[in-house]
Homo-oligomer: A and B are copies of this chain.
Amino acid sequence: MDFREMMDSKYRDLLVSYIKDESEQALYQGQKFSRKSIEHKISPEDIISLHKYLMIDLYPDLPEHVVKSFDILLEVMMGYGLAYREHQSLRHVQQ
């Protein structure tokens, strides 16, 4: 299992666990997941895309308006990912 598959599987577990019993533990694991994914240069839009994919996979009867709403969220988050990467390359140039 490569890093990406491992992250997908980890995020699936987090979602399932939190939706099942709203445990604080799952939220805490969410913070750890976030640190790891940032370290491995996973973009914020990749996270939205994964979230959408997993919700459709876990809930095949997910309402169409929910599925579509993720596309707008994805589009907006792409701007955040781009701004972050630009920031990083500017810093790289400055160093």
Interface pair B68/A18, CB less than 8 Å apart: yes
How far is B38's CA from A14's CA once the two chains are assembled, in angstroms?
28
Main SS of chain A's interface residues?
helix
How far is B85's CA from A84's CA once the two chains are assembled, in angstroms?
10
Number of interface residues of A (CB under 8 A): 44
Q: Does A22 contact B (CB under 8 A)?
A: yes
A43-56 contact mask (Cβ, 8 Å, vs B): 1 or 0: 01001100100010
Q: Does A40 contact B (CB under 8 A)?
A: no
Q: Does A19 contact B (CB under 8 A)?
A: yes
Residue of chain B at shortest CB distance from A67 = B19
Report chain B residues within 8 Å CB of A84: 80, 83-84, 87
How far is B30's CA from A76's CA once the two chains are assembled, in angstroms?
5
Report chain B residues within 8 Å CB of A77: 34, 44, 47
**Of the residues B27, B71, B75, B94, contact of A91 by C-beta under 8 Å:** B94
